[in-house]
Amino acid sequence: MTDKVVTLYLTCYDLCAKAFPYLVGLAVNFLTFQEALLRVVVTCISMLSGAVFVHYLKPIVVKRIDRLKKKPK
């Protein structure tokens, strides 16, 4: 349970760190609101897909590689 909380906290922290430049750009009128929102959403989607891969698919891939390494030649 603690690992999930720490992972969630780090993911949120990382997301805020990645979204911050877009919000600063919005504040200084470098980006329009739609551009900033779109970039934040794309960043969220890419991070979530990466988290899903690491959480669910990586253990499967690692098991498969280990099984292939153990096969007799």
Q: Report pLDDT digits (tens) over 8-30.
A: 666 666 766 676 776 666 666 66
How many domains, in total, are found in the chain? 1
Number of neighbours of residue 36 by Cβ within 10 angstroms: 19
Cα separation, 45 vs 53, whole angstroms = 12
For residues 66 and 16, the model is more confident at 66
- Token representation of residue 63: 């098991």
Q: What pLDDT is recorded for position 2?
A: 63
Chain centre to alpha carbon of residue 27: 25
Range of the domain at 60: 2-70
Q: What pLDDT is recorded for position 69?
A: 81
pLDDT at 72 over 70: no
